[in-house]
Amino acid sequence: MTGWNTAITGSVEDASETVLEVVDLSFTHVGQTALTLKTVNLTLQAGELVVLSGATGSGKSTLLNCITGIAPEHTGGKLSGQIGSRGQDLTAWSVRQRSQLMGMMLQNVETQLFTDQVWEEVVFGLENWNLPPGEIQALAQTALTEFDLVEQQAWTIRQLSAGQKQRLLLACLLTRQPDLLLLDEPFAFLDAAGVQHLLECLQKQVQQGQAVLLIEHRLELVRGLCDRAYRIEAGEVRPIAVSALKSFTPATVEATAQNPFTGTVRATETASKPLHPPPETSPGRLVLQTHQLSWGGYPPFPDLQVENGDTVLLQGDNGCGKTTLLRLLSGLLKPATGQLKILGQDVTGQNVVQIARTVGFVLQNPNHQLFADSVEAEIQQSKVAPAQARQWLEQLNLSHCADRHPQALSQGQKRRLALGAVLARQPQICLLDEIMVGQDPTSLEWMLNVLTTFTQQGGTLIFTSHDPGVAERLQPRATSLS
């Protein structure tokens, strides 16, 4: 592209409506020879909301990193092509310089909040740009009002829910009215109210003329808002019709899943192969019972009566205690009051290690649960024979990375591996805390097939998820937490 102004200026003189122009962008990760992104061309006009979809590991986040300058500045790798905005060439700009024109919300919001208090957080970003104190006060107040955070302005960051933190970060990023907003899976951990609030915020920004580029797996959420959609496949970005945006539902994911590494495999067939079932229990046997469990400042949790083969979904807004209840069931927390019975035995006073013989727990953050040197060894840690470990990896579509280090996997792959390592221990009861986030429909299908097989073989599943598609697929018994 020729004729772009490469000067770095605070104000945009070019009145062009093209707020993002990606031209022939290619990127190769460090230590790899294959291109992660292949000659990507993409434009965004002011007031447009564009969605990027694609399988886990297809290069969506890499593209966002290239646009924001994080790649190759922080990740290393080789980038070619150009990135521009309103006639300016941004390719040589740093992340900070680009942040004047684009607000970037990363996957982990926690790492973009630096102070201890809501008001201070909004002010922090404005002080970084050396704005006069009077202007800072006015801009911060406007941002808090606009994002409905006035009541929380004296709160500490720790007091905020996941949705409120996201809203605060949006308020911070948008105080200086950048042209473009980039969001990486913003709906992942939000409850229904948080999703609704964020959708309203995005709609407002788009109406005000801001362009929004977002990566999302839960496509049904954004279908009504988005103007255009793209899909990344094998590093290539292709436009798709907005009407073709479909999230995971039993009908949308074919039984045949394409594994890019091992060829086409029938997911349902693989999942129906005999796994290693949990120890036999008679059908309809009560495996878990709770009575008036309570902990901390939460209202008493509803009593649970769960039989083998049951699938139970814990429902409720962010902060209502779903994770806390799972931690109580696993023994990680001891209840203040009440009783927990597993397989008819009172285990309220037992320690976690004892309870872990029958209860497996896959945590929200998979990084905490991966200890081995390789993916295969991670499964074998559970004293599983090599042949069985390979079968688990196949079931979870991880065979192609059996020799890789677990920490080198994508978040979605890590979650599947953590699930495999827990299920390989053959627990009677499996607890899952929001592990379905970050999975593309095909990967999610792999995961859900394994879980379905687990319950069909008599295992008990208790899980939390904000994704209605997951509930539709697993057909759980829902328990609401107020």
Partner 1 sequence: MPIAKLSRTSLSGLAPINPVLKIGLSVGLMVVALCLQKLPAMAVLVGGLLLLTAQLRIRLVGLLYGVLTLTIFALSSAWLSGDWPKAVFSTLRLLAIVLPAPVLALTTPPSALIRALQALRLPSFLTLSLMIIWRFFPLIQQELQRIWEANQLRGIDLSRQPRQWFSGLMVPLVFQMVTYADEVTVGLQTRGYDPEAPRSCSQPLRWQHIDTLFCGVVALWLGVVGYLEWVR
Residues 17-76 that bind partner 1 (CB under 8 A): 68, 70, 74
Contact set for partner 1, span 392-431 (CB under 8 A):
407, 421-422, 425
By the rule CB under 8 A, 298 interacts with partner 1:
yes
Taking CB under 8 A as the criterion, the residue among 96, 204, 266, 273 binding partner 1 is 96
Q: How far is the CB of 152 from partner 1 (least distance, A)?
A: 9
Whether the Cβ atoms of residue 384 and residue 392 lie closer than 8 Å to each other: yes
By the rule CB under 8 A, 329 interacts with partner 1:
no
Taking CB under 8 A as the criterion, the residue among 54, 84, 321, 335 binding partner 1 is 321
Taking CB under 8 A as the criterion, the residue among 363, 419, 429, 474 binding partner 1 is 363
Which range, of 122-130, 221-229, 307-315, 384-392, touches partner 1 by CB under 8 A? Answer: 122-130
In whole angstroms, give the CA distance from residue 235 to residue 30: 16
Q: Which is nearer to partner 1, 272 or 482 (CB)?
A: 482
* Cβ-proximal residues to 302 (8 Å cutoff; 6+ apart), any chain: 479, 480, 481
Residue 179 per-residue DSSP state:
S
Residue given tokens 């899943």 in the structure block = 257
Q: Which residues on neighbouring strands pair with residue 433, listed in sequence order? A: 464
Q: Which is nearer to partner 1, 342 or 422 (CB)?
A: 422
Task: Return the closest-CA partner of residue 360 out of 304, 426, 311, 313.
Answer: 426
Rg (CA), the chain: 24
Which range, of 224-232, 357-365, 386-394, 471-479, touches partner 1 by CB under 8 A? Answer: 357-365
Whether the Cβ atoms of residue 248 and residue 470 lie closer than 8 Å to each other: yes
Taking CB under 8 A as the criterion, the residue among 365, 374, 388, 410 binding partner 1 is 365
Q: Which is nearer to partner 1, 181 or 474 (CB)?
A: 181
Taking CB under 8 A as the criterion, the residue among 106, 201, 312, 474 binding partner 1 is 106
Q: How far is the CB of 358 from partner 1 (least distance, A)?
A: 11
Total binding residues toward partner 1, as defined by CB under 8 A: 73
Torsion region of 475: left, alpha or beta (phi above 0 gives left; psi -120 to 50 gives alpha): left
Q: Which is nearer to partner 1, 299 or 386 (CB)?
A: 299
Q: Which is nearer to partner 1, 86 or 414 (CB)?
A: 414
Taking CB under 8 A as the criterion, the residue among 5, 129, 209, 305 binding partner 1 is 129
Q: Which is nearer to partner 1, 188 or 444 (CB)?
A: 188
Q: Which is nearer to partner 1, 28 or 68 (CB)?
A: 68
* Cβ-proximal residues to 65 (8 Å cutoff; 6+ apart), any chain: 71, 75
User: x/- site string to partner 1, residues 141 to 170, per CB under 8 A?
Assistant: --------------xxxxxxx---------
Residue type at position 291: H
Taking CB under 8 A as the criterion, the residue among 5, 112, 203, 388 binding partner 1 is 112
User: Is the Cα dihedral 110, 406, 56, 364 positive or negative?
Assistant: negative
The DSSP annotation for 35-83 comes to: -SEEEEEEEEETT-EEEEEE-TTSSHHHHHHHHHTHHHHTT--EEEEEE
Q: How far is the CB of 232 from partner 1 (least distance, A)?
A: 21
Task: Return the closest-CA partner of residue 258 out of 441, 53, 451.
Answer: 441
Contact set for partner 1, span 168-227 (CB under 8 A):
172-173
Q: Which is nearer to partner 1, 95 or 402 (CB)?
A: 95
Backbone angles phi, psi at 252, to 5 degrees: -80, -25
Whether the Cβ atoms of residue 174 and residue 143 lie closer than 8 Å to each other: yes
